[in-house]
């Protein structure tokens, strides 16, 4: 029995004991929402000009994903399948409104710089996608794990992209006001190309190719 299970999950985390952990890891690595599933791309490109924005956005997505997954999975037996999509959208929109009000009240600077992309979490394919594919069919506990895994995977992707763009584009790294480091030559002559919109497309295109290349190498 144990042997069989180990064989079945030979590619994902091997030492995985509970299903909770398995769902969590799945979202984090194997089906990373950005690089592998290519979901939720619009905000990815827009908010990754600085680490602050990227982390704020990631936190927002985790919050909305977690809350909406919990609610949708709790209501999964009471929701008629004919109207499930409108129900999901209203649930998600409610939490996005709550999030936007919280950000406006406590971290107005971040709310200002994220702008409409914060509200656009409503139409982020990841959240509706997880509601439809996972939360509407699985118990609450697993849905929480799924939300945390996918949300963290999304945040990590945001972090990697914004790290590259901010380091190359400004020649240093500022996290919430603290200067972490600044590179000697780059900080005087920053490659502002990476902060501009073409740079965003280029960085994410190259990263996607890299992830795919790693995937190909690992499978062989």
Out of 4, 78, 82, 216, the only residue in the binding site for another protein (CB under 8 A) is 216
**Per-residue x/- marks for another protein, 128-167, CB under 8 A?**
x---------------------------------------
94 binds another protein (CB under 8 A): yes
- What tokens does 154 get? 């999304």
CB atoms within 10 A of CB 85: 14
Helix H or strand E encompassing 140:
helix 140-170
Tell me the HSE value of 122 on the side-chain side, using a 13 A CA sphere.
16
Out of 25, 29, 62, 120, the only residue in the binding site for another protein (CB under 8 A) is 120
Residue 69 or residue 124: which is nearer to another protein going by CB?
A: 124
Measured CA to CA, the distance from residue 46 to residue 50 in angstroms comes to 10
Residue 122 or residue 140: which is nearer to another protein going by CB?
A: 122
Q: Which residues bind another protein (CB under 8 A)?
A: 38, 41-46, 86, 89-90, 93-94, 96-97, 100-101, 115-116, 119-120, 122-125, 128, 196-202, 204-206, 208-210, 212-213, 216
């Amino acid at each position: 029995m144990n042997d069989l299970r180990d064989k079945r999950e030979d590619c994902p985390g091997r030492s995985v004991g509970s299903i909770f952990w398995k769902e969590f890891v799945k979202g984090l690595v194997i089906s990373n929402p950005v690089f592998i599933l290519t979901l939720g791309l619009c905000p990815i490109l827009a908010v990754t000009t600085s680490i602050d924005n990227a982390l704020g956005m990631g936190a927002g997505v985790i919050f909305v994903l977690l809350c909406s997954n919990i609610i949708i999975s709790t209501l999964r037996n009471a929701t008629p399948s004919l109207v499930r999509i409108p129900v999901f959208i209203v649930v998600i929109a409610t939490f996005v409104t709550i999030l936007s009000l919280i950000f406006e009240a406590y971290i107005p600077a971040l709310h200002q710089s994220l702008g409409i992309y914060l509200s656009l979490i409503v139409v982020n394919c990841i959240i509706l996608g997880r509601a439809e594919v996972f939360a509407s069919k699985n118990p609450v506990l697993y849905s929480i794990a799924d939300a945390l895994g996918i949300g963290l995977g999304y945040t990590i992707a945001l972090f990697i992209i914004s790290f590259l763009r901010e380091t190359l584009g400004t020649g240093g790294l500022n996290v919430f006001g603290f200067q972490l480091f600044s590179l000697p030559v780059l900080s005087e002559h920053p490659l502002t190309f990476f902060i501009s919109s073409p740079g965003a497309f280029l960085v994410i295109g190259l990263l996607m190719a890299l992830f795919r290349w790693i995937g190909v190498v690992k499978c062989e």
